[in-house]
Amino acid sequence: MTRGPSPFEWQRQALAAHRASLDAMARGLDVAGDLTRMQEAGQKAMEANLKAWSSWASLWRWK
């Protein structure tokens, strides 16, 4: 009759699985942070574009 892994081996495997899930969550948070920064940069670009168009439109009205 063969014995299964020792309790210490089960604990080691459980800790390894937990660490892997924490690493995956950390990577997910990194991606979420990147997406937030990209969204903020896009918002700033749209605001700059709107300012440029509004200043161009005001110049056009002066002519």
- Position 61 pLDDT exceeds 80: no
pLDDT in the model for residue 1: 53
Q: pTM value?
A: 0.49
Instruction: Tell whether 17 is covered by a domain.
Output: no
Residue 5 confidence (pLDDT) above 80: no
Q: How many structural domains are present in the chain?
A: 1
Q: What pLDDT shows up at residue 53?
A: 85
- The helix, strand and coil proportions of the chain, stated in percent and rounded to the nearest 5, come to 90, 0, 10
Distance of CA 53 to the CA centre of its chain: 31
pLDDT at 63 over 60: no
Instruction: Give the pLDDT confidence of 20-59 residue by residue, as tens digits.
Output: 988 888 888 888 888 888 899 999 999 998 888 888 777 7
Domain holding 41, by residue range, is 27-63
